[in-house]
Amino acid sequence: MRAGFLAAILLVAGGYTWLAFAELDYLSSAGRLGPGFFPRIIGVALVVLCAHSLYAEVRTSREALSETWRTTVVVAAFSAAFIVALEPLGALLSMILFLGATLTYLNRGRPLQNAALALLLPIGVYLLFKVWLNAALPRGILPL
Amino acid sequence: MDIFANLLLGLSVAVSPVNLAYLFAGVVIGMVVGIIPGFGPSAALAILLPVTFGMDPNGAVIMLAAIYYGSQYGGTITSILLNTPGESSSVASTFDGYPLAQQGRAGPALVMQAVASFVGGTLGVILITLLAPAFSQVTRSFGPPEFFLLVVMGLSTLIVMVGGNWRYGLISALVGFALGTVGVDLETGQTRFTFRSAELIGGIDFIPIAIGLFGLGELYYAFYTGMHLSGSGGIVQYQKEKRFWPQLADFAETRFALLRGSVLGFVIGVIPGAGATIASLMSYSLEKSASRTPEKFGKGAMAGLVGPEAANNAASSGAMVPLLTLGIPGSAATAVLLAAFVLWGLTPGPLLMAQKPEFAWGLIASMYLGNMALLALNVFAIPLFVQMVKLPYRILAPAVILVCTVGTYSVNASPIETWLMFAAGLAGFFMKLHGFSPAALVLALVLGPLAEQSLRQSLTISRGSLSIFLERPTCLWILGITAVVLTLGILMRRSGRGR
């Protein structure tokens, strides 16, 4: 897993470094150090360090996947679905749905507690941000 | 005399009813944030930063700073009762705090940690009061080479001192620097890495990154480690009525540990990049080696709890010195505070104390009051916070995800920033999982523009010669201190590995 993560950073770092050399000037038109100076140093250092770490990792890696991965992936997926639903459904409804789904998955066997929390907590957060702090929250399909 | 007059000016700012209300709100939020494992002051500060946009800058910074040092108090309650530190800086408090609770001394341990936190925090603020003006005078002569070396010192200290693979720490910092280069180059006006997106011209917004890395990322990691499965079953009960208060012997036994921890913590806190976690761990080692009964450490020695607690609170005060006088944060949480200063049009640095005395001294004076409020809260409202510790993580965590998401969206009503927060959350999870350093990334993201600007200016002054970093006496001092801190860090890592 770590090797994959390092490879992803290396890929992005490679692109960053290529852009730093291809599109950004080392010196400005006035002859001073230009916009490409610092990114080139950072990019090269990042590529060298990532490549070295990836090589070391691939040589020694012996990892096993944990069971809690499933919960982590499910909660991350619920968070992403929450962000997707935020604007079309509105803040209040999407909060209720997110909390309802997440608590049903995590806090099993307590439907009443989950329903109460999924309803009351979003109302509290909504009042805090929308009414007290006057923050911009998406309205969605509810007439709020 | 100047100091006394400035402190009075600061007190007059801090005791206004509105600022007192913000201070109290800040310490309570800080306590709550400290108690929740996997949700630290950095994320809380980043979420609340947009909330303070409409507030008076004095009140806003008083509240945010109170959240920062208040979290150091709260983090220990779970260390003592649950053997789970609420903050990384409270890890050392589990070593003897939890054994004390298991021996039926949870009450005295909770009160002594509050007293130690108060002594460390207050002594730290006294030292800020005495030293910050002098520090500010010295740093007025600093130029681009000094500022560049201070950034290097802060990041290299963070990378070496915090455990794990130093290469991954350095990669994290370089990624932070790379993200910091996105946007318009301030010297030439040329856009960099924006891919013609109008949203990226102003650079990558710091708030969603901080909320994602320290909010979502930490929570996902907590799920990965199975924290939602453990519940609060392991919590040690304590008796409020009898054996709650510490005995005189507890105070007598720990009086030197209190002082040592406070002074050590402050010194470590002043060094950019070192921070409260390092201070508390070093204090624990110091107390163990200074004790006549080192065999009691790890089995419920009160000095093993009191020293680190005084140290982490003094360190959080000490971290304010480089922040106020140089504009250089030493940790992720103080990086968020720096971002807050900049948002309000304040430039922390050598001139802040002279040009905005009501702001700088208002903050310092509020820290005296905040520590008093925290002591009272910790001693008299412990049952309330213990109820919070009992809240199952499987309920607490979704509520925090909710606040992170809605908090990010509410800043600019921007779905792109909300997705950026989510991406930073996933990145934060993988960084934590594989031993990378989200704190180094955030610190480099905040300090990146300063590092780049000061390096380019230094090399322009010296016509491209790196010898400018070796010619100025102040540069040599900074390089010397960096070398000492790094050597200490490397020796600590080696001795840790040996054990």
pLDDT one-digit tens code per residue, B31-69: 888 887 767 788 888 878 777 777 888 888 899 999 988
pLDDT at B499: 45
Considering only CB atoms, A83 lies closest to which of B229, B398, B418, namely: B418
Q: Is it the case that residue A33 has pLDDT exceeding 60?
A: yes
Same domain? For A50 and A91 the reply is no
- Could you tell me if residue B446 is inside a domain? no
pLDDT band at B119 (very low <50, low <70, confident <90, very high): very high
Interface with A, mutate which of B52, B172, B224 (most A CBs under 10 A) = B224
- Could you tell me if residue A128 is inside a domain? yes
pLDDT at A32: 84
Mean pLDDT of B192-214: 86
Same domain? For A120 and A86 the reply is yes
User: Given an 8 Å threshold on Cβ–Cβ distance, is B425 in contact with A32?
Assistant: no
Higher-confidence residue: B300 or A45? Answer: A45
- CA distance linking residue B25 with residue A7, whole number of Å: 44
- CA distance linking residue B336 with residue B119, whole number of Å: 26
- Could you tell me if residue A19 is inside a domain? yes
pLDDT at B263: 93
Same domain? For A90 and A47 the reply is no
> Given the structure tokens 């909390």, which residue do they identify?
A99
Q: How far is A57 from chain B (nearest CA, A)?
A: 11
Q: Count structural domains, chain B.
A: 1
For residue B204, give both structure tokens. 């990558």
pLDDT at A67: 61
What phi and psi, each to the nearest 5 degrees, are found at residue B184? -85, 135
Q: Is it the case that residue B30 has pLDDT exceeding 60?
A: yes
Length of chain B (residues): 499
Domain that holds residue A77: 69-132
Higher-confidence residue: A96 or B414? Answer: A96
Q: What is the ipTM of this complex?
A: 0.77
Considering only CB atoms, B422 lies closest to which of A53, A79, A99, namely: A79
- Could you tell me if residue A79 is inside a domain? yes
- CA distance linking residue A69 with residue A80, whole number of Å: 16
pLDDT at B243: 72
Same domain? For A48 and A76 the reply is no
Q: Is it the case that residue B163 has pLDDT exceeding 80?
A: no
Q: Count structural domains, chain A.
A: 2
Cα atoms in the 13 Å half-sphere on the side-chain side of B350: 11
- Could you tell me if residue B46 is inside a domain? yes
The enclosing H or E element of B277 equals helix B275-290
- Could you tell me if residue A15 is inside a domain? yes
- CA distance linking residue A121 with residue A96, whole number of Å: 8
- Could you tell me if residue B281 is inside a domain? yes
pLDDT digits (tens, 9 = 90+) for B372-404: 999 998 888 877 877 777 778 888 889 888 988
pLDDT band at A43 (very low <50, low <70, confident <90, very high): very high
The mean pLDDT value of chain B amounts to 85
- CA-to-CA separations, B457 to A38, B143, B172, in angstroms, rounded: 12, 9, 25
- Could you tell me if residue B110 is inside a domain? yes
- Could you tell me if residue A139 is inside a domain? no
Same domain? For A49 and A89 the reply is no
Same domain? For A35 and A73 the reply is no
Measured between CB atoms, does B409 come within 8 Å of chain A? yes
Chain A CA closest to residue B432: A2
- Could you tell me if residue B448 is inside a domain? no
- Could you tell me if residue A142 is inside a domain? no
Chain A CA closest to residue B172: A46
- CA-to-CA separations, A114 to A99, B258, B399, in angstroms, rounded: 8, 45, 12
Domain that holds residue B50: 2-141+205-419
Mean pLDDT of B442-465: 90
Residue A33 with chain B: CB contacts under 8 Å: 456, 459-460
- Could you tell me if residue B196 is inside a domain? no
Mean pLDDT of B360-379: 91
Same domain? For A81 and A103 the reply is yes
pLDDT at B368: 93
Q: Are B252 and B234 in contact (CB under 8 A)?
A: no
pLDDT digits (tens, 9 = 90+) for B276-332: 888 888 899 888 888 888 888 888 889 999 999 999 999 988 988 888 888 888 778
Does residue B243 come out as left (phi exceeding 0), alpha (psi in the -120 to 50 range) or beta?
A: left
Same domain? For A38 and A80 the reply is no
pLDDT at B149: 92
Mean pLDDT of B426-450: 89
- CA-to-CA separations, B177 to A102, B155, B192, B446, in angstroms, rounded: 36, 11, 13, 8
The enclosing H or E element of B184 equals strand B183-184
Give the number of A-B residue pairs with CB atoms closer than 8 Å. Answer: 161
pTM of the model: 0.80
Report which of B253, B307, B316 is spatially closest to residue B280, judged by C-alpha positions: B307
Same domain? For A13 and A50 the reply is yes
Mean pLDDT of B242-248: 78
Q: Is it the case that residue B498 has pLDDT exceeding 50?
A: no
Q: Are B172 and B437 in contact (CB under 8 A)?
A: yes
Interface with B, mutate which of A2, A6, A42, A66 (most B CBs under 10 A) = A42
Tell me which of A30, A60, A90 is where a domain ends.
A60
Q: Is it the case that residue B210 has pLDDT exceeding 90?
A: no
- Could you tell me if residue B19 is inside a domain? yes
